[in-house]
Structure 1
Amino acid sequence: MFLPAGSQDQIGHLLDRKAKVYQLFRKVAKKRAYKPIETPVVEYAETFTNKHVGMAFHTLLKWFDRDGEIEVLRPDWTTAIARALVNQDPKQLKWFYQGSVYRQDKDGIESNQAGIEIIRSEPLFGEIESLFFAVEFLNQTQIDEYLIELGHTGIYEAIIAPLQLSHQAENKLRQAMHDKQTDVVQRLTASNPDVSEQLHALIHAYGDKEVLVAFKEKYQSHLELTAIIEHLLQLINVLNQLGINDVIVDLGRVKELPYYSGTMFRGYIKDSGQSCFSGGRYDSLYHQFDQKISAVGLAFDVDILAEHIKDETQPRRVCLLASEATHVVAELKSQSYQDEIVDIVYQQDLTIEYDEVIDLRNEGSD
């Protein structure tokens, strides 16, 4: 039997590595006083496709339930958790989750995530805590060659405000900015050469904090933009104080989902360039519940981290050769080993390398 496109079986070391990633993540989350949360794998499509969330309907794995409602496999943790947390105890600020999401717009239908959500906290606290969590967790995985990228939704939105674009036109422009298509951006903003020029510069506003310094000087009379730049500089400074100097900014980065509403984070593995975590502020997600709640978080790509995490030192492997008559003897013997891998067999497989082989087949016989 074959599997659907995008599905795959997984065995061996990769599963061990994913388990280790999840284990380390949970350890860090519990240490930092996060509370676990899990949402159902099956939700209503409307939870993710409404105007506040804006996920594309065609990317969801969906079907009709017995009442004709459209259900989906969970495509996004943040949205599902917002639905679950809106009526939870406001005293609990920090939450963590682990598990799969299902989308049809990626190479694989199922992807594994582990993430945090911080709600009802002071904005700067939540953002610093998110970044510091990422640093501690990556340190725990012993992945030390990584890069943190910062961005902000407000920069692009402030610059395009004079255009007064329709929803459809703004989506086209946003996609062109996301893809760094300078020619398309210029064509879509040709009616306002000043904005077109600013967006062209924004696409190339990528690098270390000197980019922020130059941008702040250029827009020193624009109070909204200078406030955003000061905010990003503050985040870079606290990361530097923690000893994290590999921090860059991408001022031309735009939000991929409507609910992002401020600072955005992304982490990259240096040697591969793969994104290992992403997230940011999403206060506007709670507007659908008629609530004004500060919210920020990030999600780690467990599949990517599992590719880069180091394998644990393998314990000694012991083979206990037994028979039907001595299987109990072998079982009792195996309990004397604490840290070894103990394999009870009736016939030794010579293709498997053991550190020790003990023959118990004649144990107790005359």
Structure 2
Amino acid sequence: MFLPSGSQDEFGNVVSNRNMVCEVFRDIIANRGFVEISTPLVEYASTFTNRYVGMELQNLLKWFNRNGEIEVLRPDWTSAIARALVRLKSKQKKWAYQGSVFREDQPGIEKRQIGIEIIQTPEILGESECLFLAKELLEKLNINEYAVELGHTDIFEELTKSLKLPAAEKQRLRVAMHNKRKDEVFAIVTQYGDENLATELVFLIGAYGSIDILKEYEHRWAENAKLSAILQHLNRIITILKEVNIHEIMVDLGRVKNLPYYSGIMFRGYSSDNGDLCFSGGRYDKLYDQFETNMSAIGLAFDVDILANKMGIASKRERIGIVATDDTLAFAERYRSKCKESIVEIVYEVDPSVPYDKVLLVKKMNGNFEVVEA
């Protein structure tokens, strides 16, 4: 039988590495005081397509249930967890999850994620905890060459608040900024009569790279209290990251939110060798407005498949074959406990296609069973 487009079977090392990523993650979150949470794989579409979340229904894996309501495979953890936490009414502030999300607008419809959500926690503390955990996980997986990129949703919002843009046009402008289409950004803004702002936004698209860019914009935005406060906030986070030995830090002042619920700092982590996106996240205080709840919240998610691939081939373990019989199976199984660091298989005969490092035979000598090398 063939598989649907975007689905695939996987074997061996890639599966082992993925499981190892999750094991290391679970150990870290336990040590940092997180509680695990799981939400159903099947949810109502409205949890993700409402105006607070803003996902496109066409991008979700969906169907009608027997009552005519649209259900979907979970496309996003953050929104699902927000729905769950409002119902739970727990005082726990740090949550962690692992599992798949499903979207049709991404390569491969299934994306495996692990991540954290932190609620009702002071800004700097919550944001730093996210990035501290990211650092710990990457380095425990021996992914030591990575860069952290910082941005902030309110830069775009502050600069464009004076424009009388219809909602659809503002979203078109946001998409043009995201895609770094300078010509389109300039055309949209000048159409609404502000050529100076159009020029400012075009320059902002290029405000990407070294943290030295912040110094230029501290001078450029000195008269704007809101923008100056954002730059000060980014500088505080950068100082903290340097103090924990994260030195490859970038900024993208022109970055815009890709979902409506983001409402503050945004961050991403890239592999330094080829730019793979290892994690992403940010603040989303406005997400809980849909539940008429005032809740500060921040989180980040890791792409498990990318992390597993970055780990490379797992360290090779010695592979041993123990040749036994019906009468010696129990002895061979007891002997296995002496080979804790090795892969041990009990067989009746050696398969020449299996690359054993060592083959052992169980023999009866002087009335006792013993193992000898073949």
TM-score, with length taken from structure 1: 0.96
Contact 2:63 2:72 in 1 (8 A): yes
How many angstroms apart in 2 are the aligned matches of 1:142 and 1:44? 39
How many angstroms apart in 2 are the aligned matches of 1:256 and 1:87? 26
The counterpart of 1:343, out of the listed 345, 349, 352, is 345
- Residues 1:3 and 2:41 aligned together: no
Contact 2:13 2:314 in 1 (8 A): no
How many angstroms apart in 2 are the aligned matches of 1:98 and 1:357? 39
Q: How many residues align?
A: 366
Match of 1:284 in 2: 286
Deviation at 1:171, TM superposition (A): 1.1
Match of 2:372 in 1: none
Deviation at 1:309, TM superposition (A): 1.2
How many angstroms apart in 1 are the aligned matches of 2:68 and 2:90? 35
Residues 136-184 of structure 1, C-alpha deviation per residue, up to 9 Å, x if partnerless? Answer: 1111111010000000000011111111211111111111100000011
Match of 1:98 in 2: 98
Residues 250-281 of structure 1, C-alpha deviation per residue, up to 9 Å, x if partnerless? Answer: 00110000000000000000111111000000
- The SS at the match of 2:88 is coil
TM-score, with length taken from structure 2: 0.94
Contact 1:142 1:310 in 2 (8 A): no
Deviation at 1:310, TM superposition (A): 4.3
- Residues 1:212 and 2:211 aligned together: no
- Residues 1:56 and 2:46 aligned together: no
- The SS at the match of 1:353 is coil
1:238 counterpart letter in structure 2: I
1:63 counterpart letter in structure 2: W
- The SS at the match of 2:116 is strand
How many angstroms apart in 2 are the aligned matches of 1:58 and 1:362? 68
Match of 1:359 in 2: 361
How many angstroms apart in 2 are the aligned matches of 1:144 and 1:114? 19
Calculate the aligned-residue CA RMSD, in Å.
1.7
How many angstroms apart in 1 are the aligned matches of 2:68 and 2:117? 32
Match of 1:227 in 2: 229
Contact 1:146 1:269 in 2 (8 A): yes
Residues 285-333 of structure 1, C-alpha deviation per residue, up to 9 Å, x if partnerless? Answer: 0000001100000001111111111444333211111234433343333
The counterpart of 1:275, out of the listed 277, 286, 292, is 277
How many angstroms apart in 2 are the aligned matches of 1:346 and 1:21? 35
Between 84-93 and 55-64, the greater mean CA deviation after superposition: 84-93
Match of 2:240 in 1: 238
How many angstroms apart in 1 are the aligned matches of 2:209 and 2:339? 54
How many angstroms apart in 1 are the aligned matches of 2:264 and 2:155? 9
How many angstroms apart in 2 are the aligned matches of 1:164 and 1:315? 64
Match of 1:178 in 2: 178
Contact 1:321 1:361 in 2 (8 A): no
Match of 1:128 in 2: 128
With over 3 angstroms needed to count, the CA separation of the structure-2 counterparts of 1:210 and 1:335, relative to structure 1, is closer
Match of 1:331 in 2: 333
Contact 1:261 1:283 in 2 (8 A): yes
Map 1:70-219 onto structure 2 (within 5 A): 70-190=70-190, 191-219=193-221
Between 293-302 and 343-352, the greater mean CA deviation after superposition: 343-352
Deviation at 1:89, TM superposition (A): 4.6
How many angstroms apart in 2 are the aligned matches of 1:316 and 1:6? 35
1:223 counterpart letter in structure 2: A
Structure 1's unaligned 5+ residue stretches are none
- The SS at the match of 1:86 is helix
Residues 222-251 of structure 1, C-alpha deviation per residue, up to 9 Å, x if partnerless? Answer: 011000010001111111111111001000
Deviation at 1:11, TM superposition (A): 0.5
Residues 61-115 of structure 1, C-alpha deviation per residue, up to 9 Å, x if partnerless? Answer: 0011111111100000000001111243543111100111000011101011010
Structure 2's unaligned 5+ residue stretches are 370-374
Taking only the aligned residue pairs, the percentage that are identical comes to 47
How many angstroms apart in 2 are the aligned matches of 1:365 and 1:290? 74
2:72 counterpart letter in structure 1: V
Between 350-359 and 31-40, the greater mean CA deviation after superposition: 350-359
The counterpart of 1:321, out of the listed 312, 320, 323, is 323
Residues 2-38 of structure 1, C-alpha deviation per residue, up to 9 Å, x if partnerless? Answer: 1000000010000011011111111111111111101
How many angstroms apart in 2 are the aligned matches of 1:284 and 1:246? 30
Between 302-311 and 225-234, the greater mean CA deviation after superposition: 302-311
How many angstroms apart in 2 are the aligned matches of 1:328 and 1:144? 45
Residues 193-226 of structure 1, C-alpha deviation per residue, up to 9 Å, x if partnerless? Answer: 0110110011001122221111111111101100
Deviation at 1:55, TM superposition (A): 0.5
